[in-house]
Amino acid sequence: MNPIAPTKAKIRKIATFVEETHQEMDRVISPPARRAAAVAVIENPCARKYVEDLSELIAIGEELGELLTQRAVAALGIPGASCESYGKAAAVGEDGEIEHAAAILHPKLGTPVRRVLGKGAALIPSSKKRGGMGVVLDIPLGHKDAAYVRSHFDGMEVRLNDAPCANEIMVAIAVTDSGRPLARVGGLTKDQIKGEDGLR
Amino acid sequence: MPEVVVRKMVTCVEEIFHEGGPIAAPPLRRAAAIAVIRNPYAGFYVENIAGFMDDLKPLGLEMARRLVAALGGDAKVVEGYGKGAIVGAAGELEHGALWHAPGGYAMREVLGGAKAIVASTKKVGGPGTRLDVPITHINASYVRSHFDAMELGVNDAPRASEILLALVMTTGPRVHARVGGLKASEIKGEDGLR
């Protein structure tokens, strides 16, 4: 499996992370709370110079939306429709600008994410930053069908020691099969979702 | 014997297509399986700890099986391995040494008789500590193309009374290996070294 040739993005590396929480404060979480992130390290075609038109990055975002969501869902080993929350993030190497992360994340990445997951009326929470190798990405997480589901407000940290290089961008998508392990601060619960507006 | 209590399991897979040179097909893959467990000896000095090594064997097997699954399910693709441990602040380095026997046993069992010693490292540290796990060829420690390492860690582990245990497997040489030395094709396979 080599996604280099057919992709618009020049991919140096893809990493996947799966976390299972079996216990929290000595309480058993059964089944364990599981979440996965897929991260691509790509060349930034707009590095080192000001580029007015970021459509190349926007197209890359669309492509990575599908690729990374498929990878993350496969890593969880469940159907896309069974995923409960999601999030996205990007880190731009030092020769790029924060707007490059915005071009990848915001215009076109979401549609293929929702296609892979079957649903996803809620905004996909996101974060972005510029940084050097080993920078930490905290991917925000929210319920995919109703942004106000409080039990699913969460975050997942990912990092790669050798990325991003100055002329690279790290793009990450995270999905989960559940909310926080011992959620108990009230608010909207997932069984109360109306599913009309992506909020409640 | 103390119970093995797992708080968290983490699997990481890296696929490396290139590092500025020719694109590798198939890409090099490295995978790590991590378990965060309660340290039954945290907080005080315990003389007799060696029995815990046997208790860790089933967990080691589970982690080794997860690694093979993460690399596609066929143990034959595995060419390199390594292991490591991070002991939380209320434990001692020696608790990390408990992982040597069960970690190595588990990977050999799952890989079907790998000959080389399993490269390893360990330290004491707080949550988010990173560990550079050394990697060598599974059948001959001196294969230069397979000397590698994988950095790993978990942002919320190990807590003071925990141990983070790690196993790592890779599917091949460094992506642009070209500094000579013993090649995988030259392995005699008698002593685990060459």
Residue of B10, B13, B176 to mutate, testing the A interface (most A Cβ within 10 Å of its Cβ): B13
Q: How far is the alpha carbon of A194 from chain B, nearest alpha carbon, in Å?
A: 33
User: Tokens in use for B103?
Assistant: 């970690």
Q: Do A12 and B16 touch (CB under 8 A)?
A: yes
In a domain, B79, yes or no: yes
Burial (CB < 10 A; 0-12, 13-18, 19+), residue B164, is buried
Q: Does residue A23 belong to the interface with chain B, where contact is any CB pair within 8 Å?
A: yes
pLDDT at A2: 45
Q: Is residue B120 part of a domain?
A: yes
CATH number of B176's domain:
3.30.1330.110
- The Cα B110–Cα B134 span in angstroms is 19
Query: Is the CB of residue A40 less than 8 Å from the CB of residue A170?
Result: yes
Q: Given this model, what pLDDT does residue B162 score?
A: 98
B191 within some domain: no
| B17 closest CB neighbour out of A4, A136, A160 | A4
What's the pLDDT at A1?
45
- Please check whether residue A160 touches B, CB under 8 A: yes
CA gap B113, B134 in Å, rounded: 20
Residues in chain A closer than 8 A to B8 (CB atoms)? 19-23
Which residues of chain A lie closer than 8 angstroms to B14, CB-CB? 13-15, 160
Task: For A11, list phi and psi in degrees, rounded to 5.
Answer: -90, 125
Please report the ipTM that was assigned to this predicted complex: 0.83
Q: What are phi and psi of A95, to 5 degrees?
A: -90, 10
Alpha-carbon span A188 to A177, nearest angstrom: 18
Mapped onto helix, strand or coil, the DSSP state of residue A40 is: strand
Q: Give the per-residue pLDDT at A5.
A: 53
Output the pTM of the full model.
0.90
Residue B106 lies in a domain: yes
Range of the domain at B107: 6-186
- pLDDT truncated to tens, each residue of chain A (200 aa)? 444 457 899 999 999 999 999 999 999 999 999 999 999 999 999 999 999 999 999 999 999 999 999 999 999 999 999 999 999 999 999 999 999 999 999 999 999 999 999 989 999 999 999 999 999 999 999 999 999 999 999 999 999 999 999 999 999 999 999 999 999 998 999 999 998 888 99
Regions in chain B scoring below 70 on pLDDT:
none
Residue B190 has a pLDDT of 87
Partners of residue A157 in chain B, C-beta under 8 Å: 155
Say how many domains are in chain B: 1
Tokens of A117: 């997951």
Interface test mutation site (partner B, options A23, A27, A162, max chain B beta carbons within 10 A): A23
Instruction: Check if the beta carbon of residue A72 is closer than 8 Å to that of residue A36.
Output: yes
**C-alpha to C-alpha distances, B51 to B46, B62, B91, B100, B191, nearest whole angstrom:** 12, 19, 17, 13, 29
Give DSSP secondary structure letters for chain B: -----EEEEEEEEEEE--SSSSPPSSPEEEEEEEEEEE-TTTTS--S--TTHHHHTHHHHHHHHHHHHHHTTS-GGG--EEEEEEEE-TTS-HHHHHTTHHHHHHHHHHHHT---SPPEEEEEE--TT--EEEEEEESS-TTBGGG-EEEEE-BTTB--TTEEEEEEEEESSS-TT--S-SB-GGG---SSS--
Amino acid letter, residue A112: P
Nearest to B8 among A11, A19, A136 (CB): A19
Q: Count the residues in chain B.
A: 194
- Map residue A60 onto helix, strand or coil: helix
Contacts of B15 in chain A (CB under 8 A): 13-15
Q: Best of B5, B14, B18, B132 to disrupt the A interface by mutation (most A CBs within 10 Å)?
A: B14
Residue B153 lies in a domain: yes
* Residue B92 is assigned to a structural domain of this protein: yes
**Contact check, Cβ <8 Å, A12/B154:** no
pLDDT digits (tens, 9 = 90+) for A56-66: 999 999 999 99
Q: Which domains does chain A have, with CATH numbers?
A: 11-192 (3.30.1330.110)
